[in-house]
Amino acid sequence: MSRKIAWIVLILMYQTICLSGQTPHKTLVLRCGSLFDGRGDSLRKNAFVVIEGEKIKEVASNAPAGAEIVDLSSETCLPGLMDTHTHILLQGDITAEDYDEQLLKQSAEYRTILATVNARRALEYGFTSIRDLETEGAGYADADVKKAINNGVIPGPRMQVATRALDVTGAYPLQGYAPAVVVPHGVQVVDGAENARQAVREQISQGADWIKVYSDRSYRVREDGVLDDIPTFTLDELKAIVDEAHRERHKVASHAMALQGVHNSVQAGVDSIEHGNYIADEDLKTMASRGIYYVPTIFVGEYVAQGRAAEGAPVWVKMIQIHEDTFRRAMKAGVKIAFGTDAGGFDWKVNPAKEFSSMVKFGMTPVQALRSATSTAAELMGMKDSLGTLEAGKLADIVAVPGDPMSDVSVMERVDFVMKGGVVEKRKP
């Protein structure tokens, strides 16, 4: 009998060891020279972040005795960065030719292989979470990259994905081919409210966390300086998309760069406005009162402007000034601004953290820019209970930079330590 009990005890012990995984909950301490916790306005000096398993146990002034310490005493620690607008399946598309070539000459499988490299790059730049806003013709590959990351197959950030995005007939590349030539599209093409609802249902069933819509196209500057556009969806179509997504507890991100696209999106009740180069004051007011986020993606506009102007669209150069004016009005109106870069719209070899400097150039303080990529981004992604600040109980997503981002925000382009969920993903040699 006692032998039987001994066996049961042994089996139970074995199971406990197996279930707890290969890394038992050990305590790790980051010794940070300075720390931005994502809540206050200033840096805390000489802070110790105590990590147990995947979570932060406490932020203390001393290290607990006997704990393993990672020395970051010459660094500034911050919450893991969050980029709320990326395209890991895209390798830069300054010109239409860049874009068409990727869709015409690369298989979805090859593009997915490149995407896994981009996911790793994002993590190494310090982005421990991203909201990837559509695959640009690569189907549902983003949902698989996310799965591979979550299963520990490849390194990468936490991902929310939008799968295929939606646009109407004749509005999105590839365009300009002979009628008899069947070309792929960078989106799921839908017309009519009922078809749009069906597409939302399909995308959600295939793993979309967000529904992405393209709400406008074809930009021009009016004589009064307003950036005008052609709205893609009718208001009825947009409302159907938003209603269907919300009914299924999903949110809608709307690419809207100018007057009418933004206005329709706000009227339809989307959850975030992407790019928003021009937003009318009345729409900014509605965004502030309804809590609709503004994801300005400034850097990419500067990055593609000259190339697109050379291709015959000089409006892209004029848009930069209009964008700055809108950004400043949005801050004044109290609109929530979340950090997003459109990485993939520019080459992933370029560090998306350049957006911090762009935001500061357009009028944010460094601490406002940092918050947009931490606490505000976490709120936008519905993850503020577990991410966005460094405090007890949150997931240990932590980065460190060799300098003071409050005095020079471009130091965010030099992240040399990355931890995701308590696991060290990058450390300066």
Task: Summarize as ranges the residues that interact with Zn ion (CB under 5 A).
Answer: 342
Give the residue nearest to Zn ion (CB): 342
| For Zn ion, the closer CB: 80 or 301 | 301
Distance in Å from the first CA to the final CA of the chain: 56
DSSP 154: S
CA angle at 298 for the pair 295 and 304, rounded to the nearest 5°: 125
C-alpha 412 chain-centroid distance: 16
Q: Are 376 and 339 in contact (CB under 8 A)?
A: yes
Cα-based distances in Å from 7 to 1, 2, 3, 19, 45: 10, 9, 6, 18, 53
DSSP letters for 323-343: HHHHHHHHHHHT--B-----B
Bin 163: left if φ > 0, else alpha if -120 < ψ < 50, else beta: left
Question: Is the Cβ of residue 37 or residue 342 nearer to Zn ion in the bound state?
Answer: 342
Comparing CB distances to Zn ion, the nearer of 167 and 342 is: 342
CB of 87 to Zn ion, least distance (A): 6
Select 273 or 400, whichever has its Cβ closest to Zn ion. Answer: 273
Closer residue to Zn ion (CB): 216 or 342 = 342
Q: How far is the CB of 315 from Zn ion (least distance, A)?
A: 18
CB of 8 to Zn ion, least distance (A): 57
C-alpha–C-alpha distance, residues 362 and 282, integer Å? 21
Q: State the minimum distance, in angstroms, from the CB of residue 246 to Zn ion.
A: 22
C-alpha to C-alpha distance for 74 and 59, rounded to whole angstroms: 17
Q: Nearer Cβ to Zn ion, position 37 or 274? A: 274
